[in-house]
Amino acid sequence: MLFTLKKYIGGLLLPLPLLLLLMGLGIALVWFTRWQKSGKGLISVSWLVLLLLSLQPVADGLLKPIEDRYPTWRGEQKVAWIVILGGGYTWNPEWAPSSNLINNSLPRLTEGVRLWRENPGAKLIFTGAAAGGNPVSTAETGARVAESLGVPRSAILVLDTAKDTEEEAAAVKQAIGDVPFLLVTSASHLPRAMNFFHHAGLNPLPAPANQLAIDSPLNAWERIIPSPAWLMHSDRVSYETMGRIWQWLKGASGEPGQE
């Protein structure tokens, strides 16, 4: 119940739904109350914030400091385990296997498979429970996609009971103890994930995937025209910031934004 409530409240506080709610409130003030000036101001401010968060320089300027916490793993230390955290998914057997991994999940998996090839004999651990109504878990979906890319089932361990990152850390600890392992997740999620895994007494080695914030060349129009792609980057900033605050309140990290 708490997990579902957390998801609903967190979802409503993300930029797009929150700003739409504020615009709706402003419209209601304009049409149905005498506080028309306040309503117009609320609509104008919400529109301006939505515009700014949909621009590449703003969105990626906010996201990059979070993603840059850990560099792409190029270390020489060999490991026996590579943990790939679950993310967005569905399961439709009629689709190409990789199409079932949504948003952040496919880049996590491809980075995990790359690292697996660099660590002969290592095993991949996929984590994540089933979404409501789905007979296949996110962990099992990741395992099936990895198999389609040539990873043998004997090199895969599925942990499919954990609903969030904190539970994923507990499941990994129960499965492999405190041996070092590569922890693969989205670059924006990795600082929070590292906190949870350290707090559980584990020894993760950070391996970010799915970097989104761009500081390499882009066409000029891509930087100045608002886009839902850039708004999604702003969404990641809000999501991870709320997650770090919640983590801090639970005592699983230090000050918000610090490990």
CA distance 5 to 1: 6
What percent of the chain has pLDDT above 70? 96
Q: Which residues on neighbouring strands pair with residue 123, listed in sequence order?
A: 81
Confidence check: pLDDT of 3 > 70: no
Secondary structure class of 89 (helix, strand, coil): strand
Among candidates 203, 131, 182, which has minimal Cα distance to 139?
A: 131
Q: Which residues touch 94 (CB under 8 Å, ≥6 apart)?
A: none
**Residue 257: which pLDDT band, with cuts at 50, 70 and 90?**
very low
The whole-model pTM stands at: 0.90
Q: Tokens representing 56?
A: 């590449």
Confidence check: pLDDT of 254 > 90: no
What values do phi and psi take at 158, rounded to 5?
Answer: -105, 125
Q: Which residues on neighbouring strands pair with residue 101, listed in sequence order?
A: 89
The mean pLDDT value of the chain amounts to 93
**Residue 16: which pLDDT band, with cuts at 50, 70 and 90?**
very high
CA distance 69 to 206: 10
Reported as a single tens digit per residue, the pLDDT across 139-157 is 999 999 999 999 999 999 9
Reported as a single tens digit per residue, the pLDDT across 61-98 is 999 999 999 999 998 899 999 999 999 999 999 999 99
**Residue 2: which pLDDT band, with cuts at 50, 70 and 90?**
low
Taking residues 174-195, what's their average pLDDT? 97
CA distance 213 to 57: 9
Strand order in the sheet with 81-84: 156-159, 123-127, 81-84, 181-186, 204-209
Higher pLDDT, 4 or 222: 222
Higher pLDDT, 246 or 154: 154
pLDDT recorded at residue 4: 72
Task: Give whole-number Cα distances, 109 to 27, 104, 194, in Å.
Answer: 44, 9, 18
Q: What is the CA radius of gyration of the chain?
A: 20
Confidence check: pLDDT of 12 > 90: no
pLDDT recorded at residue 1: 63
Neighbours of 110 (CB within 10 A): 19
Q: What is the 3-state secondary structure (H, E, C) of 129-166?
A: CCCCCCCCCHHHHHHHHHHHCCCCHHHEEEECCCCCHH
Domain ranges for the chain: 2-67+223-249, 81-209
Confidence check: pLDDT of 258 > 90: no
CATH architecture designation of domain 81-209: 3-Layer(aba) Sandwich (3.40)
Longest dimension (CA), the chain: 71
Confidence check: pLDDT of 100 > 50: yes
Taking residues 2-17, what's their average pLDDT? 80
